[in-house]
Structure 1
């Protein structure tokens, strides 16, 4: 299948979350039926909470066989495992703690206290990605990657004008000076993110309109990292009306 890029616009933030949640459940069921497992990449931020909480509230939540779903992370803050700053901590509160997913299916980044340094934690995650890679790949071919996008166009912990954006290998990178606290982080590189079959980016709010418009107008990934994201099969921007303010009309899809 050739890669498709679509923008789906929703009236408001609440309908956006509900729509992505419903599509996620439907697609995960389809993927499991086709290949008997599914792999998902999660991220942090308010839109992640929006979507995961909506999945958890859905009456269709338990129609998914969660024992066949594995979870990975696009990035993580280099803090203690029980810190409220951890993406996986919030993702647990929003969804994972409620669905009975087996512990061995949850692939968390290492935390302060687990490893002597952030570099050791990165090396361990690289090894884990390779253990679950298909064929000669360096990382799994994730089935769905859910990403938020910052007002500056950053995705995961890949920030504008930082050298990590230009990494060419599907690997795990460390960040020492994140523009957003905490400063130390781990993140998948763009090639690792792009080894996803489907990348779903979720944007809400007028402050996201400029970066989305730039990305769709052909800006480079160095300037707007989200512009460098491209799933193997499909790349979808799920946005609310405010975030869609600068999207050219011809790029807005009527359906998924």
Structure 2
């Protein structure tokens, strides 16, 4: 596990640009899973600093979607993806929105995964106490959540099982941005915690290639 400390969230934009650009120089296709929260704006802006040729290689996968109110896909569009579609820098088919009735194709294996970590340690719409249910193959790779602890209650999300199938060989960027994430970050190496209590721990406990990105410099409490 690596850790990158940034002085401001804007630095995430440059990190994203350089990381994806390097992969584009080596691969004909780059598959990237992205979150839907506040941090996604920096991810999308960094992505859009790439050349048009590199952008054509990118396939984006939204990891969770709200089923009412402000949609996560709208957050991506507002961050610049909508303009990229309008200007034909990217095609709308380059964005996958999760839906249990329209799952992944066999070749949809992620290279990079960017996940904003919530105050309670959740990622995507995988909240504390959900691991036992959403890690099972029977739930599928994408599930309908009908009782989310964070509004709105109904969401579609990639499950723990879905990440196991699609992100086993990916680099996972866990984003702890803002003072409200300090407590969740403090559980990073706490052996008394697990994916059941802090869902982001799934990637650490199962020895994924994890890179923690945070703007919290001070001593963790």
Tell whether the structures are fold-level matches, with TM greater than 0.5: yes
Following the alignment from structure 2 to structure 1, what is the Cα–Cα distance between the partners of residues 126 and 132?
Answer: 6
Structure 1's 29 and 55: CA in aligned 2 closer, same or farther, altered over 3 A? closer
1:17-56 → structure 2 map (5 Å cutoff): 17-18=10-11, 20-53=12-45, 55-56=47-48
> How far off its partner does 1:51 sit?
3.6
Aligned pairs, how many?
A: 210
Give the structure 2 partner of residue 203 of structure 1: 176
Alignment of 1:1-256 (within 5 A): 5-11=1-7, 15-18=8-11, 20-53=12-45, 55-56=47-48, 60-62=49-51, 65-79=54-68, 85-99=70-84, 100-109=89-98, 121-124=99-102, 126=103, 129=104, 131=105, 133-134=106-107, 140-162=108-130, 166-169=134-137, 171-194=141-164, 195-196=166-167, 197-218=170-191, 219-230=193-204, 234-241=209-216, 245-246=219-220
Q: Given the two structures, how large is their TM-score scaled by the length of structure 1?
A: 0.73
Contact 2:113 2:172 in 1 (8 A): yes
Shift of residue 61, structure 1, vs aligned partner: 3.3
1:160-196 CA distance string (max 9 Å, x none): 0135665133611111111111100011112322432
Q: TM-score, normalised by structure 2?
A: 0.84
Structure with more of its chain in helix, by fraction: 1
Aligned residue in 2 for 1:115: none
Rounded to whole Å, the distance in 1 between the matches of 2:61 and 2:79 is 15
CA distance, structure 2, for counterparts of residue 215 and residue 178 of structure 1: 23
Aligned counterparts of 1:66 and 1:166: Cα–Cα separation in 2: 33
Q: Structure 1's 164 and 176: CA in aligned 2 closer, same or farther, altered over 3 A?
A: farther
- CA deviations over 1:58-91 (Å, ceiling 9, x no partner): xx43366211111111111113xxx5x1111111
Question: Cα 1:162–1:213, aligned 2, differ >3 Å: closer, same or farther?
Answer: same
Give deviations 1:105-163, integer Å, cap 9, x for gaps.
22123xxxxxxxxxxx4122x2xx1x2x24xxxxx221111110110000000000135
> Which consecutive residues of structure 2, in runs of 5 or more, have no partner in the other structure?
none
Q: After the TM superposition, which parts of structure 1 deviate over 6 Å for at least 4 consecutive aligned residues?
A: none
**Could you tell me how far apart the structure 2 residues matched to 1:200 and 1:229 are?**
10
Whether contact under 8 Å (1:190, 1:229) holds in the other structure is: no
SS in 2 for 1:122: coil
Distance 1:101 1:28 in 2: 15
* Partner Cα distance (1:166, 1:142) in 2: 19
